[in-house]
Amino acid sequence: MISNYEDALAFIHGRTQFKKSDHLDRMRLFMAKLGNPERQLSVIHVAGTNGKGSTVAFLRDLLMATGKTVGTFTSPFLMRFNERISVDGMPVPDQDLVALVNQIKPTVDELDATLEEGGPTEFEIITAMMFTYFKDRVDVAVVEVGIGGILDSTNVLTPEVSVITTIGYDHMKLLGNTLPEIAGQKAGIIKRGKPVVVGQLPEEALSVIEQKAIAEKSPIYRMDHEIMVQPLPDNAWEEKFKFRFDGFTFDAVKIQLLGQYQIANASCALAAFMLYQAAHHQPWDRHDTLTALAKTVWAGRFEPVNQDPLIVLDGAHNEPAVTEVTQLLKQKFSDRECYIVLAVLADKQYEKMLSLFQTVPHHHIILTTFQGPGTRHAVDPETLKTKHENDAHIDVVDNWQLAIGTALKTMSSDDLLLITGSLYFISDVRHFFLDNDDEA
């Protein structure tokens, strides 16, 4: 019997992270022994290279606006592990998490003893905890895929609606080296006869998704096809767009999350929400829907943590995400000096990410490092700088707190400081800023 929160986390994080296999048999057996809680849930399933978390957040607020109790499953967490399993935006309480671990641990122990390849992995256990927790608590669960789709442990569920936000290069060792290969993995969440909403994808990736939808007889709703969106003039801290789908038109949708990619995420969420409500023959209110979208926030996605000077955190951790962030900087902040404190995990596309940030007007980049999760570590900033010696606007400060301090001493109150490169990095930074605020 596990008696406290720390021991519960130690049990979860002490499990194997990955076991290479080409099936979900272990996860299905795990679920069967727990009574198949996933079959007792109404679910919207969200996959994609980037944009999953924001899309989940929009869906959560849209569904809550209809009076539903909404569970969300996301990864990774920013501040505390409990965020990954939340109900109506509130993370699972510590005592409930301990109870969940004790509830599933006997089954884990049994599978450890009886399966030749051993029992469930860390993510399989977290997924099982989520299904078990949501079973008797929520009206609908919005479940984010961990990695890929086909072999992700969440893929034992059958959703009401599937969403595929984006397809780009990330996790190539697991998902494949081409966009069609990666798209094939993501397409694995499409289920027989269930509608799928698709964001703005490269044509070669979209073709794979379309073929899978046809094979599964799943209605497909695509951005710029069935879902029509037109960005509208906006101010610096708001996006506004016209939205048309399934006979409905919204002339001016407003969202706080910045960037053209967030317009796409909100549009995918809105279309999926409308399809979900239609499938259940449930109404929705136009004003409540617009209000829900306007108030949605998602920590760590171009999140301002200070206004004077402007300091922003963004968890962009791969080439597609950095492409989106640099476009946002050029669109809304091209008139400012832009200081960028950048730390990237060594297993990411750090060369391409740095090159993209170099295209930002008036850039000043400080390369730094941080303590990565587990055995993963950040790329050495000195090594990264040696390949960009010709850019006088790149410096190295090994300690990230000192890197931030260096930027703040150099910049003026009119400039922008962006801290980015990894969700794990900005988790550390966010703790730093919030702890300092508490002390103040």
CA dist., res. 383 & res. 398, Å (int): 12
pTM above 0.75, yes or no: yes
- 21's CB contacts (< 8 A; 6+ apart) are 117, 151
Q: Got the DSSP string for 229-250?
A: EEEE---TT-EEEEEEETTEEE
CA dist., res. 429 & res. 114, Å (int): 43
Give tens-digit pLDDT for 390-430.
Answer: 788 999 999 999 999 999 999 999 999 999 999 999 999 99
Give tens-digit pLDDT for 108-147.
Answer: 999 999 998 889 999 999 999 999 999 999 999 999 999 8
CA dist., res. 8 & res. 2, Å (int): 6
DSSP label of 223: B
Residue 387 confidence (pLDDT) above 80: no
Give tens-digit pLDDT for 249-268.
Answer: 999 999 999 999 999 999 99
* Mean model confidence pLDDT for the chain: 93
Burial of 393 (C-beta count, 10 Å sphere; 0-12/13-18/19+): middle
Span 2-26, mean pLDDT? 88
CA dist., res. 405 & res. 383, Å (int): 22
pLDDT of residue 32: 98
Span 277-294, mean pLDDT? 97
Give tens-digit pLDDT for 327-348.
Answer: 999 999 999 999 999 999 998 8
| pLDDT-based confidence at residue 173 (cuts at 50, 70, 90) | low
